[in-house]
Amino acid sequence: MTDEERLRLNNILETSRDRDALEAAAVALAESDDPAGLADLGRFLASGEALARLDDLNSPSFKTSHLARVLQALEKHPSPSSAQLCLRLIHEPAFLADDDRKIHLLPALAAVRPMSETVVEVFRQTSAEGYYNLNVRLLVKNGSPNALALFEDMIRDAGVPEERRADGLHAAVLPHRAELLVLQTIDRLLSGQLEDKVAMGAIETVFDYRTREWFGPAKNPPTPPPWQSASDDALRFVLALADKVRALGLPAPLLEAVNNTAAEIREILAARRA
């Protein structure tokens, strides 16, 4: 981004009261991958006066509508500079004046890989503040070692109801169950002390898919990737995991799902070797 273009966008952010124009300028900076432009955007979003020009704060339905699209653009262009922007906002009183803003900020922060220890602490804190269900999904989607380690801690946390943790496994792991690092995370969870309901939630998320039971009438429920998309290493890991969980005395329907998945994976591997 040229200095001239950045100055033009900044002038809009500083003076305009046209919410659509403000959003367009902010999105352009979010998409710029320009550290100076992102710093400018951070200053804008840290201002209560600016946020009031960006969105109608008196309307519950629209109080974060423009902001959400700005942060979605930031999520699609993750970088160390975008992480710094998000870390600034997560501690800015003006930004935090409305808790709903965190719902849009956390995905933008989680999009930056690998996840730093500083960002891990943000997710640890916000999970305790009521964002557990959102954060488990974001951590697995991030997929880097620090993120998955915190996800493990959250699933082991006996202070969180077992059903909530099982639901978190369904929602977070299902879209990523073909990824080796995620499968290794499940293996570590099953190798430790885990309540039966939570352990069954982990196993069925890898080997089964019961969307109506797990997600109800959700409009866009999580879906699993095809096993054909997994690497050979990931597929072989699933087969080893199947052997491990069969020894746990699974309910008949879940044992059948494990066996069916293992058979499908053996077919895929055989076809790749042919």
Average per-residue pLDDT for the chain: 96
**Band of pLDDT at residue 206, cut at 50, 70 and 90:** very high
Backbone angles phi, psi at 31, to 5 degrees: -90, 0
CB 151 within 8 A of CB 184: no
In a domain, 146, yes or no: no
Q: Give the closest residue to 244 by CA, choosing from 233, 255, 228.
A: 255
Give pLDDT tens digits for 5-45: 999 999 999 999 999 999 999 999 999 989 999 999 999 99
CA–CA dist 44, 32 (Å, integer) = 15
Q: How far apart are the C-alpha atoms of 173 and 204, rounded to whole Å?
A: 10
250 within a domain of the structure (yes/no): no
Domain count, the chain: 1
In a domain, 48, yes or no: yes
Domain that holds residue 70: 1-112
Identity of the amino acid at 140: V
Sign, CA dihedral 178-181-184-185, equals: negative
Task: Tell me, yes or no, whether 87 lies in a domain.
Answer: yes
pLDDT at 218 over 90: no
Asked whether the beta carbons of 67 and 104 are under 8 A apart, the reply is yes
- For residues 41 and 33, the answer to whether their CB atoms sit within 8 Å is no
What's the pLDDT at 271? 95
pLDDT of residue 157: 96
Cis peptide before 114 (omega within 30 of 0): yes
Q: What is the 3-state composition of the chain as percent helix, strand, coil, each rounded to the nearest 5?
A: 75, 0, 25
Contacts of 228 (CB under 8 A, 6+ apart): 268
| Residue 23: closest CA among 58, 59, 64 | 64
Asked whether residue 51 is domain-assigned, the answer is: yes
The structure tokens listed for 129 are 């503040």
Predicted confidence (pLDDT) at residue 151 exceeds the cutoff of 90: yes
In a domain, 39, yes or no: yes
Helix axes 35-45, 65-75, angle to 10 degrees: 150
The reply to whether 192 falls in a domain is: no
- pTM assigned to the model: 0.94
Q: Examine residue 50 and state whether it is found in any structural domain, yes or no.
A: yes
Asked if residues 136 and 174 have their Cβ atoms less than 8 Å apart, the reply is no
- 55 pLDDT more than 90: yes
pLDDT value of residue 242: 97
* Residue 198 in this model has a pLDDT that exceeds 90: yes
